[in-house]
Structure 1
Amino acid sequence: MKTMKNWLLTGLLFMIVSTAFSQGKITGMITDGTGSLPGANVVIKGSATATSTDFDGKFTLNTTTSTGEIVISFLGYDNLTLKFSVTNGGTTNLGTIVLASNSNELSEIVVKSSIVDVAKDRKTPVAVSTIKAAEIQEKLGTQEFPEILRNTPSVYATKSGGGFGDSRINIRGFDQKNIAVMVNGMPINDMEGGTVYWSNWAGLSDVTTAMQVQRGLGSSKLAVASVGGTINIITKSSDKKEGGSFSSGFGNGRNFKIQGSYNTGKLENGLSASILLSQTMGDGYINGTQFEGSNYYVALGYSTKNDKHDFQFTVTGAPQWHNQRSTVSTIATYQQYGSLSDPNTRYNPDAGYLNGEAYNIRKNYYHKPIASINWDYKINETTKLSSVLYASMGRGAGASATGGIRGKSYSDVLAFRTADGLVDYDKIVAYNSGTPVLINGFTGLQTRAQVGGVYQNTSSTGSNAAAGASTGTSGISQTSSINSHDWYGAVINLNKKLTNTLTLDFGVDARTYTGYHYTVVNDLLGGGEYYDTLMKSDPARHITSTYPTDVQWNVFQKKDYDKIAFNSTGKVQWLGAFTQLEYSKDNLTAFVQGSVSQQGYKREDSFVYLPTDPLASTDYEKIIGGNVKGGANYNISEKSNVYVNAGYYSKQPFFNSVYPNNRSTVNPNLTNEKIIGFEAGYGFRSKYFNGTVNVYNTNWNDRYLKGNPLPAAGLIAANTTYTEYLGLDEVHSGIEFEGSSNITEKLKVTGMFSYGIWEYKGDATVNAYFQADNTPVPGFTGIPVYMDKVKVGDAAQMTASVGASYEVVTRVTVDANYNFNDKLYAGLTPVNFTSPDNKGALELPSYGLMDAGFSYKMLTGKNKDKSVNFRLNVNNLFDKVYIAESRTNIFADDNLPVSGTQAPGANGTYASKGLLYDGVATSNQVFFGFGRTWNFTLRYDF
């Protein structure tokens, strides 16, 4: 018995020890049904044992217990609890685990709303790239919102002047006026000019659930300006999972941001709410570009118990102000305030000091909230009605300078410059107020005379009199060009499943827009009054009222201003109808869609016209346009698919093409722009590699382009004319590749390549008109402009990138990305193409940039379903100096300017005189890109 008892005790002890020290593994892959979910939390219930998925959605969890439950959680998805059983030393593979979304991720949005035209993988036949919130949240940092797209094919994004939100984006060689930007199915391109000012939408990066770029004509059913592509931005909705986040970040240039958000989740009564608030500020990377911005987002939702009705109300806005760098300097100027080999790329010719504090006369301040009500109504199993009503009231302006002193503007490269190149605003104020000052380039003290007993500022720069004269009357003022608007719209779409294979959509798109444009005085800078002579009914007005450059939070308030220079109202009415028929069966999906829209343009102006003049209020100039598109996708196998699409778009001209030069005379040369696009592609999906390749060709005919003034000659005074191109055609074609590969469970590699051939086709003609009344300049009708085969500028025609991320240890990841840009040409300058032997567009040096990042995620909470996240981003890691864009086309072998009776070429060429930087003539006006920047973010998700 004793022996038996010892054996029993020994066996029991062995079992206890074996159980306590047993080791096993649990593996699996977590997806949302369409793609992997990197960073999902996996925790053994009731323990501290936890891990997170890698970038392929895979996880491995070591366990010391043979049975139990794991809890899987991911922000925006329902938690999932699964039982497991594992043998000692064994591995249990749970396979592919699909989490159910409780937020409007891409797949859910497609089901809920037929207004949001989101392309579906291996189904919608367009070239598309999708970026989800996690990547935006992690990698954007202090970059501008469009810059997160620069590692997608055929996308070129730059910071332009470098002010907060002043970046621009170009897709397939088309600028952002010809790229449709949509937020939750609402078009947000300005209805007068098609522009998108990203400073007005800076808060979108905080509230975006996913962003999708459809290159080419895209899948949008609306008649929108998708010549180069469509950017679909889907914001989070009120019914996200209960929880929230708090984050704080800082970076170079004293950049600081703080943000908080909370979601109630969908309550039992069907109600839900979400709120986000943030604040950001900093000095900016470019000298003198201080900024401050806020962001608010509120979403309220309600859905019925039977899910027949779903309502979402959202309002978001990002009031901000930021100082700008609007004046473009030559390379020689950057060298002057740096060195020949190391130009001062941060130099800002608009920045300076006033009364000992940083001051910039160029400032943008704006508040553009947008509110919308979405209603999705499931009428029956085959019929859905989706609609959105939206409104936006924009209030704000861009401040600049008006007038001059002794014939010199504030930005003159010599007159008002300190030794380090800053604008001497103290000197301007002193002169304006009557104090004698020394002005660079003039001899002796310069004084100002009064007019009518007051120091009077006007729009005139004054006279640069003979050297012996020392008295002038003109002055410099800070003024703002107001560009406010009221915008209301609605999109309604009925989605009807006709059969098991056919689905029909049809709907309407209605919008109305009123833009308010005028100028006000912000600061007389020491002067006594502003004298305005441009109002027809009162051409002798003495203005003393000034208005601060403050952000207007209350957009419902309509302020009464004393207006100068101009005061006009632009009205646009848009009424469109659209339809789409989609066929889907087995491996084949095909669609055909068409839309038509009528745009009406009306101009009201009782400033330059007498109120009794018929031109003070025009009739609506109504123009019809539309598009037709079709395409098909065929899934060859579970891994491969091919697609093709084609379309035709008749695009109405912008407001300033209908009424050029801020006058009420309708352009006699009005014509719609015609776009014909074709695209074909192949996609491959596998466990280890995903990739797409596509080719495209886009013909853009009858493009409208307004050119520079004619040079002063004979009876033509400087800056009194403008030019217009007629018959300007472009052809954009190219090839694109995008792919990703999971080399190992911890290493993921991504890459893209695009090569474009973007050229003007054929020659054009240029007409010239006087600015005052839009009448033709005699003798300048139909001057030929030789554009055939000239490269389209302002965007790199060859781009490539390669990136990698590696999980060093669990939840600790490092990543890097190299982006290369080549075949980058300067912007078009009309004077370069009046000769048949012109040199074409100036090609700028290629450049490559390396970005890097470090992430750490620490799981917290009882169930490890909360986390603290650390993220460090470094952009342009190696501090590469590069030219991002050029406004001029001056070649190295061009002759230097001559004066007097010198023969052309007497001074030699830029190359012969060594006036080159990286092979580029130093007299070119350029913007350099940013050097090394960094930011660090700490975020708590709960």
Structure 2
Amino acid sequence: MENYLKSSKLKRSIIAVFTVLMLPLLSMAQFSISGTVSEKSNQVLPGASVRLKNKGTGLTSDAHGQYRFNNLKAGNYVLIVSYIGYRSTEKAVSLNADAVVDITLAPAAFLADEVIVRATRANEKSATTYKNIGKKEIEENNFGQDLPFILNNTPGVVVTSDAGAGVGYTGIRIRGSDASRVNVTVNGIPYNDSESQGTFWVNMPDFASSVDNIQIQRGVGTSTNGAGAFGGSVNIQTASVADQAYAELNNAYGSFNTLKNTVKVGTGMIDNKWSFDGRLSRIKSDGFIDRAASDLKSYFLSGAYYGKKDLLRINVFSGQEKTYQAWNGVPEAKLRGDLVALEEHYNNNLGYLYYTDADRANLFNSNNRTYNQFTYKDQNDNYTQSHYQALYARQLNEKFSFNGALHYTDGAGYFEEYKNDQKFSKYGLPDVSVGGSPISKTNLVRRRWLDNDFYGLTYAFNYVPSSNLNITLGGAYNQYRGKHFGQIIWAQYASTAANDYHYYDGKGNKDDFNTYAKVNYSPVSQLSLFADLQYRNVNYDITGLDKNRNTLDFHNKYNFFNPKVGATYFINQQSNVYASFSVGNKEPNRDDFSNLKAGLPVPKSEHLNNVEAGYRITDKDFNVGINVYGMFYKDQLIFTGEVNDGGDPYRQNVDKSSRMGLEIDGSYSISPKFIINANAALSRNKIKNYIDYVSVYDANFDLINVQATSYANPDISFSPNTVLFGELVYKPLSGFAMALQSKYVSKQYMDNTQNESRKLDAYWVNNARLGYDFNLKGIKNINIGLLINNILDKKYESNGYTYSSIYPWGMLTENFYFPQAGTNFLLSLNLKF
């Protein structure tokens, strides 16, 4: 017995010593925590947020609700798991081996913010081509550039920047369609300008910092509110309730003295009923182009009440921009450094009459790629836009719910410009006499104003009588009241105008009503049928004088019926195929009427038939979407190349045109450290028969005629047939990630003649992004980010324009380009408390 006791003591001693010796090895060992996030009914929750408390490490569950943290040292951890509409939970894990921790979330006691945009969103049953962008991806790519540059990594998207570096005036095209054909909503409320139908992101600086998620639908998509979607739609949901109180400081600095400062605060849920959030931002940049400076300010305030069956959220946000004009581009001769051709450009544009000595010196002596024609110190665009939204949702019972919104947008501002040698008569003013000599022209400074109001309501009723049937009835009624007027604030020779004199006054009044019914029905578990019927009525009156003092008197009424049908077949839980047919209609914009040449027919509305078909597969390590599409237009409005008497280009209806293409979008996790994201858009964009008009002038530069030339089956302008994107993400350490991004855009023609001398060359641009997350005592998370754009210093132009004229000595064609910046960087430091 004594020997046995001695033996047992010896074994315990050996085990204890062995354990002590192994502790350093155990602490160095690498383990994992994985599991599945689901609700009480065992329904998995894809996209749930899972993070390690105080570790600065987080991820989202995959399509099967699964998550996995790798390369963790032994020790104690706390998992924090959250999902919209469910109560967040924390779970302690003592890790000394690979652990499987399944999480079950209970429904929250309040209605989730996602119901606000549900009626206008597509899902896997909608037979629609779409892309969802979550908050994490938005944050990773948000260094202060405008929202289009955050969306640049999505299929078929091409972006451009007037100032060359993504701050200030920026543009976006989807499937070759410009911003006036891309429907944008914020919480289901239309954002496109009612008259131009464009979207001016410069009026919403740093708005991405207040965005929770974005859905891009390509093609006609599902019925939404506002302008017709002829290229796609961008559906934005602003920030939803945070898990807990927070404060953030987000700062960035980089090339061209670009500076971003953002402060964000939020209360989280108070008493399980209330939440308040706020943001204050400023962005300043000198721009890549000479004098293309931007001074942007914005704020976002939001308060919400959450009940068990209802939700009320009030949003107030505003943006103020002061942007030096860089929208004339660089003449081709200047860009190419051809001094002989540049002298010809100067003479052809009567530089000796309209250019000052300083203008000529600027044209010939400035940098070829950063030249800006404007030199007047206050050649600025100034605009303030404020938005007020009241969003309400109520779950009436288990099957029936409602959400609606009241909104008001107030916009006012002007752009100021210096003009040489202007005739008094052009401004409705009499000539003057100086020292007894008649004076009919003067140098002056003018402002062109836009003062507008946009208000209305949106609504949607959702009825789910059974698990296989979902019905939505929704719509909107909105009114726009716009005032356009011009003022002269200084003149070298003063005429009879008073300080408050308006040399033109115009109005644009637009009433827009739409209603739609959407139905998802699954006759069998694997098949979902989708139908969406929309009626839209538009009354649009344009009156007064335009900027050239021509009389405007247009009263237009449109009635559109936009049906959409589709089907989705679920092959299994991971994959499905879909097909749809959709109809879109769209009214002309203000310029189509105000720029209309005398004697030409009033522009007709446009019609689009859109066919989409695709295949989607999602697995544990990869997901891929492949779709083909056909967009067949009737009476599409396109620029003809001709200008009116005021020098403004105008569009005309073409009988038949089309866009057809193939799009691929996917990602693949090679390992926990390597991820590949890629997409491709291949397309063919054609006008069946196109007539190009060129103005003919005499030796005195008076318009005498128009020459017409027919073209068979040319490419549609600004429609590259190939757009490719690839991204390699490397995560060597916990909290640290590097990404190499590559974007290729094939050549684009600047008009519809498919002339090789009037094109944007293809370009291939590479960016690199680095991010490191860690924490210190008292700071929840610290993120250091670095974005290096155009790391290979590619010289390229992403936008431009062209026009031609015929004179007794021959045809003159002028091309202008918008060069983009070479290698440049943005460095960010973001603190979360």
Q: Deviations over 1:102-139 (max 9, x none)?
A: 899xx9555x236552222x333211122222222222
Q: Deviations over 1:823-858 (max 9, x none)?
A: 322234xxxx6xxxx858844321100000111111
**Letter paired with 2:174:** I
- Whether 1:452 and 2:418 are equivalent positions in the alignment is no
For residue 650 of structure 1, the aligned residue among 580, 585, 589 is 585
Query: How far off its partner does 1:721 sit?
Result: 9.0
Match of 1:447 in 2: none
- Whether 1:173 and 2:176 are equivalent positions in the alignment is yes
- Whether 1:628 and 2:635 are equivalent positions in the alignment is no
Match of 1:381 in 2: 398
Match of 2:354 in 1: none
Query: How far off its partner does 1:512 sit?
Result: 0.5
Query: How far off its partner does 1:589 sit?
Result: 2.1
- Give the match's secondary structure for 1:817: strand
Match of 2:192 in 1: 189
Match of 2:314 in 1: 313
Task: Identify if the C-alpha distance between structure 1 residues 569 and 240 changes in structure 2 by more than 3 Å, giving closer, same or farther.
Answer: farther
For residue 822 of structure 2, the aligned residue among 924, 931, 935 is 931
Structure 2 contact 443–493 (Cα < 8 Å) conserved: no
Q: TM-score, normalised by structure 1?
A: 0.75
- Whether 1:660 and 2:667 are equivalent positions in the alignment is no
Query: How far off its partner does 1:454 sit?
Result: 8.8
Query: How far off its partner does 1:451 sit?
Result: 3.8
- Whether 1:857 and 2:773 are equivalent positions in the alignment is yes
Task: Identify if the C-alpha distance between structure 1 residues 877 and 404 changes in structure 2 by more than 3 Å, giving closer, same or farther.
Answer: same
Counterparts of 1:562-641 in structure 2 under 5 Å?
A: 562-564=501-503, 566-584=504-522, 586-605=525-544, 620-641=555-576
- Give the match's secondary structure for 1:319: strand
Q: Deviations over 1:448-486 (max 9, x none)?
A: xx9434999xxxxxxxxxxxxxx9763322212112210
Query: How far off its partner does 1:687 sit?
Result: 1.5
- Whether 1:484 and 2:436 are equivalent positions in the alignment is no
Q: Deviations over 1:308-341 (max 9, x none)?
A: 111010011111111021223222213449999x
Structure 1 contact 759–788 (Cα < 8 Å) conserved: no
- Give the match's secondary structure for 1:886: strand
Match of 2:206 in 1: 203
Match of 2:147 in 1: 145
Query: Aligned pairs, how many?
Result: 782
**Letter paired with 1:60:** N
Structure 1 contact 75–241 (Cα < 8 Å) conserved: no
Task: Identify if the C-alpha distance between structure 1 residues 70 and 806 changes in structure 2 by more than 3 Å, giving closer, same or farther.
Answer: same
- Give the match's secondary structure for 2:20: helix
Task: Identify if the C-alpha distance between structure 1 residues 817 and 98 changes in structure 2 by more than 3 Å, giving closer, same or farther.
Answer: farther
**Letter paired with 1:28:** S
- Provide the C-alpha distance between the structure 1 equivalents of 2:452 and 2:594, rounded to a whole number of angstroms: 20
Counterparts of 1:409-448 in structure 2 under 5 Å?
A: none
Task: Identify if the C-alpha distance between structure 1 residues 885 and 29 changes in structure 2 by more than 3 Å, giving closer, same or farther.
Answer: farther
Task: Identify if the C-alpha distance between structure 1 residues 519 and 219 changes in structure 2 by more than 3 Å, giving closer, same or farther.
Answer: same
> Percent of counterpart pairs with the same letter?
19
Structure 1 contact 362–398 (Cα < 8 Å) conserved: yes
Match of 1:814 in 2: 738
**Letter paired with 2:379:** R
- Whether 1:691 and 2:691 are equivalent positions in the alignment is no
- Whether 1:348 and 2:371 are equivalent positions in the alignment is yes
Query: How far off its partner does 1:196 sit?
Result: 1.0
Structure 2 contact 640–691 (Cα < 8 Å) conserved: no
Structure 2 contact 256–287 (Cα < 8 Å) conserved: yes
Structure 1 contact 31–37 (Cα < 8 Å) conserved: yes
Match of 2:357 in 1: none
- Whether 1:941 and 2:828 are equivalent positions in the alignment is no
Match of 1:441 in 2: none
Structure 1 contact 237–299 (Cα < 8 Å) conserved: no
- Provide the C-alpha distance between the structure 2 equivalents of 1:150 and 1:619, rounded to a whole number of angstroms: 38
Task: Identify if the C-alpha distance between structure 1 residues 497 and 728 changes in structure 2 by more than 3 Å, giving closer, same or farther.
Answer: same
Match of 1:475 in 2: 442
Match of 1:220 in 2: 223
- Provide the C-alpha distance between the structure 2 equivalents of 1:337 and 1:75, rounded to a whole number of angstroms: 60
Match of 1:123 in 2: 125
- Give the match's secondary structure for 2:785: strand
Query: How far off its partner does 1:143 sit?
Result: 3.1
**Letter paired with 2:137:** E
- Provide the C-alpha distance between the structure 2 equivalents of 1:99 and 1:807, rounded to a whole number of angstroms: 29
**Letter paired with 1:790:** P
Match of 1:366 in 2: 383
- Provide the C-alpha distance between the structure 2 equivalents of 1:635 and 1:279, rounded to a whole number of angstroms: 47
Match of 1:402 in 2: 419
Match of 2:158 in 1: 156
- Whether 1:289 and 2:227 are equivalent positions in the alignment is no
**Letter paired with 1:286:** I
Match of 2:345 in 1: none
Counterparts of 1:758-777 in structure 2 under 5 Å?
A: 758-763=685-690
- Whether 1:42 and 2:52 are equivalent positions in the alignment is yes
Query: How far off its partner does 1:366 sit?
Result: 0.8
Structure 1 contact 723–767 (Cα < 8 Å) conserved: no
**Letter paired with 1:185:** G
Query: How far off its partner does 1:795 sit?
Result: 3.6
Task: Identify if the C-alpha distance between structure 1 residues 848 and 599 changes in structure 2 by more than 3 Å, giving closer, same or farther.
Answer: same
Structure 1 contact 30–53 (Cα < 8 Å) conserved: no
Query: How far off its partner does 1:404 sit?
Result: 2.1
Task: Identify if the C-alpha distance between structure 1 residues 897 and 103 changes in structure 2 by more than 3 Å, giving closer, same or farther.
Answer: farther
Structure 1 contact 20–64 (Cα < 8 Å) conserved: no
Match of 1:270 in 2: 273
- Provide the C-alpha distance between the structure 2 equivalents of 1:103 and 1:756, rounded to a whole number of angstroms: 48
- Provide the C-alpha distance between the structure 2 equivalents of 1:391 and 1:803, rounded to a whole number of angstroms: 40
Query: How far off its partner does 1:141 sit?
Result: 2.0
- Provide the C-alpha distance between the structure 2 equivalents of 1:103 and 1:231, rounded to a whole number of angstroms: 31
For residue 671 of structure 1, the aligned residue among 604, 607, 612 is 604
**Letter paired with 1:320:** E
CA-based RMSD of the aligned residues comes to 4.1
Structure 2 contact 159–798 (Cα < 8 Å) conserved: no
Query: How far off its partner does 1:859 sit?
Result: 2.4
- Provide the C-alpha distance between the structure 1 equivalents of 2:557 and 2:198, rounded to a whole number of angstroms: 21
Task: Identify if the C-alpha distance between structure 1 residues 652 and 810 changes in structure 2 by more than 3 Å, giving closer, same or farther.
Answer: same
Task: Identify if the C-alpha distance between structure 1 residues 363 and 498 changes in structure 2 by more than 3 Å, giving closer, same or farther.
Answer: same
Match of 1:433 in 2: none
Q: Deviations over 1:323-370 (max 9, x none)?
A: 021223222213449999x99454233343xxxxxx545311111111
- The gaps in structure 2 that reach 5 residues or longer are 39-43, 342-364, 698-702
For residue 542 of structure 1, the aligned residue among 471, 483, 497 is 497
- Provide the C-alpha distance between the structure 1 equivalents of 2:312 and 2:471, rounded to a whole number of angstroms: 23
**Letter paired with 2:506:** S
**Letter paired with 1:757:** R
Structure 2 contact 512–536 (Cα < 8 Å) conserved: yes
Query: How far off its partner does 1:725 sit?
Result: 2.5
Query: How far off its partner does 1:602 sit?
Result: 2.0
- Give the match's secondary structure for 2:122: coil
- Provide the C-alpha distance between the structure 2 equivalents of 1:231 and 1:930, rounded to a whole number of angstroms: 26
Structure 2 contact 444–488 (Cα < 8 Å) conserved: yes
- Provide the C-alpha distance between the structure 1 equivalents of 2:134 and 2:368, rounded to a whole number of angstroms: 33
**Letter paired with 1:882:** Y
Match of 2:333 in 1: 332
Query: How far off its partner does 1:290 sit?
Result: 1.5
Query: How far off its partner does 1:145 sit?
Result: 1.4
Task: Identify if the C-alpha distance between structure 1 residues 855 and 161 changes in structure 2 by more than 3 Å, giving closer, same or farther.
Answer: closer
- Whether 1:733 and 2:660 are equivalent positions in the alignment is yes
Structure 1 contact 573–601 (Cα < 8 Å) conserved: yes
Q: Deviations over 1:282-313 (max 9, x none)?
A: 21121101221111000011122xx2111010
- Provide the C-alpha distance between the structure 1 equivalents of 2:794 and 2:624, rounded to a whole number of angstroms: 30
Q: Deviations over 1:581-637 (max 9, x none)?
A: 111452322211111121112234289999xx9x88x68532212311111211101
Match of 1:513 in 2: 480
